[in-house]
Each structure stands twice: as C-alpha cells, then as structure tokens.
Amino acid sequence: MKKSFGFLLATVVATLLGAVSANAQVKVPDDINALLTKYTCFACHRADTRLVGPAYVDVAKKGYKNERIVELIYKPEPANWPGYPPMAPMTQVPKEDALKLAVWINSLAPKTAPAKAAATKKKS
C-alpha cells in the first residue's frame, strides 16, 4: 500500500510541476533550475509569476547589479518589496552559485529599445 501511495504522490507532484512549467513563459535553463531547486528558491519564487515572493522577471526590472542581488540573497531588505512577506536570509548559498543566479535573474530584464534621439540622426 505504501508503494502505491508513494507512486500516486509522485505522479501528482510531477503533474503539478508540469502544469507550472507548461504555463511558464520563461524557460529556466537546466543548470539554473538545479540551483533554484537545491536552495529551495522555488518554494517562494517563479521565473515569471508572483508567488510568495516576487517573480524573477520583476526582480530583474529593478536594475540591481549582480553583486547587489548576491547581497540581497544573503541579507534581504523587505523594504525593497512592499506587499510581500520578508525573505529569509539564504546564507547557505555559496557565493559562486548566488552570482550565477544573479546573472540569470538579470538576463530576464526587458530589453530596452534604443533611445529615439540615437535612432534619429540629425541631417547636416
């Protein structure tokens, strides 16, 4: 009986995770997915959907430098995200992994169009 319950539970979890992935607009690379899973980031965050914490695309819109995101992983500042519960410090994440995550988060920032002035050249 335990074996069938475990199989059923695993099937339900896989189905739910598949549904989340199917609705996601942002493809999370396998190496980043592994880090987000290992450090339990997925408990509160998704790439493009608000959960307990902000979506990573929303973090990217803030324009933080990679080093600043690393700092905030270790020592979150709840004032930066009103309307969300405070994030626990994630001091167990090695700096190298935190930096990989920060670089990926910033890769989600919207690409800005070149300034209109730069696109239109003055005729002499």
Stronger pLDDT, 36 or 14, i.e. the higher one: 36
What pLDDT does residue 115 have? 54
Query: What whole-number percentage of the chain has pLDDT above 90?
Result: 67
Q: Check: CATH 3.40.50.970 for 42-109? A: no
Whether the pTM exceeds 0.85: the reply is: no
Let me know: does 6 contact 15? Beta carbons within 8 Å: no
The CA distances from residue 56 to 14, 73, 97, 124, in Å, are 22, 13, 16, 45
Q: Is the pLDDT of residue 123 over 70?
A: no
CA atoms within 13 A on the CB side of 95: 3
Q: Above 70 in pLDDT, residue 113? A: no
Of the ranges 44-48, 60-64, 99-103, 109-113, which one carries the lowest mean pLDDT score?
A: 109-113
Q: What gap in Å lies between CA 104 and CA 66, rounded to an integer?
A: 9
Q: Residue 63 gets which letter from DSSP?
A: T
Q: Domain segments of the chain: what residues?
A: 42-109
